[in-house]
Structure 1
Amino acid sequence: MDAKSLEVLRILENNGRTDIPTIAKMVNLGEDAVSAIIRQLETDNIILNYQAVVDWSKARESEGVTAMIDVKVTPQRGVGFDEVAERIYRFPEVQALYLMSGAYDLAVVIEGETMSEIAAFVSEKLSTLDEVLSTTTHFQLKTYKHDGVVFAEPKTDSRNVVSP
């Protein structure tokens, strides 16, 4: 991948709503060239999706529940963790799935409406998979920063100006 494509990719990763004329000026290319780069990045499955980062605590009455589940599994001969990971990420509740180093093998991020819904997922779906040896569930209590976006309200300086 060339340097201009990487520049375009970084700009879109920072803000997927940046328009083509702005990107063209930022990378010193024509708009047609930038459009071609973006199309190629999408075709090559380098750009997979464009998403908004939403502060759900301000958007609706019930925020729902997010849980991060550490999972210890038995890897399968010849495919390692890939086969069990595929079975897990196919559940609609699963928002993200990562292979991890350390005490646990997989980190699963799921969303539900209630803690009971998360508990049912763990006990009825995740823990019943033959390859799953153990799980540890962590519930998200508050979001401070997500995908590089800080959720705190900007603080204003309310001190009075003092001059001699």
Structure 2
Amino acid sequence: MTSDKEIELIRILEHNGRVETEVLAKMLDESEEDVKVCMQKLEDEQVILSYTAIVDWSKVTKEETIAAMIDVKVTPQRDVGFDEVAARIQRFPEVSALYLMSGTYDLSVVVEGQTMDGVARFVSNKLSTLDAVLSTTTHFRLKKYKHDGVVFNQDEKDRRMVVSP
């Protein structure tokens, strides 16, 4: 069971994984050693899975990756439901995220590639050829406004000309 202090630590790290242990200790009113032990425990229990950076690649290089969200309808497998087909799909290196969904489609697959053609080849040659996959619908990401709570291009001005009747 997770304590209130652990939950508070998790929330802080989820917002900013780079907070130093000394600062975390002051924020939580705990010793640095207790915070280190707690973080290690949460990592060992796979509560904390990763510390990541959110990067706006459009400011680094003009070679952004192409991202697509693919809705997938599948036939669930006896005794394992959607888990077996999800396990197969998540092994593809092109897949950056995979979710079980409610609604019309069963799985939502986020794929990243270098070109639209590369993503299309992934869908036609790898994803749609799986026996359990009944259909797919691919949506290409055109622009990223917000990701994991971080707003992109906040200071960018709207350069469209105002037109009024």
Return the offset for 1:59: 1.1
Cα distance in 1, alignment partners of residues 74 and 3 from structure 2: 39
1:29 maps to what in 2? 30
1:149 maps to what in 2? 150
2:106 maps to what in 1? 105
1:9 maps to what in 2? 10
Return the offset for 1:62: 1.1
Cα distance in 1, alignment partners of residues 102 and 57 from structure 2: 31
1:47 maps to what in 2? 48
Q: Which moved more, 1:147-156 or 1:32-41?
A: 147-156
Q: TM-score if structure 2 supplies the norm length?
A: 0.92
Cα distance in 2, alignment partners of residues 119 and 53 from structure 1: 26
Note the residue ranges of structure 1 that are not aligned, 5 or more in a row: 157-164
2:60 maps to what in 1? 59
Return the offset for 1:135: 0.2
Return the offset for 1:64: 1.6
RMSD over aligned CA atoms reads 1.1
Q: TM-score if structure 1 supplies the norm length?
A: 0.93
Return the offset for 1:155: 6.7
- The amino acid of 1:44's aligned partner reads E
Q: Which moved more, 1:22-31 or 1:97-106?
A: 22-31
Return the offset for 1:152: 2.0
Cα distance in 2, alignment partners of residues 153 and 85 from structure 1: 36
Cα distance in 1, alignment partners of residues 154 and 103 from structure 2: 35
Cα distance in 2, alignment partners of residues 14 and 154 from structure 1: 21
Cα distance in 1, alignment partners of residues 65 and 9 from structure 2: 35
Matched, 1:93 2:126: no
Note the residue ranges of structure 2 that are not aligned, 5 or more in a row: 158-165
For residues 33-90 of structure 1, what are the alpha-carbon distances to aligned partners after superposition, in whole Å with 9 as ceiling and x for unaligned?
A: 1011000000000111111000011111211200000000000000000000000000
Do the aligned partners of residues 71 and 16 (structure 1) sit closer, same or farther apart at CA in structure 2, a change above 3 Å counting? same
Q: Which moved more, 1:91-100 or 1:56-65?
A: 56-65
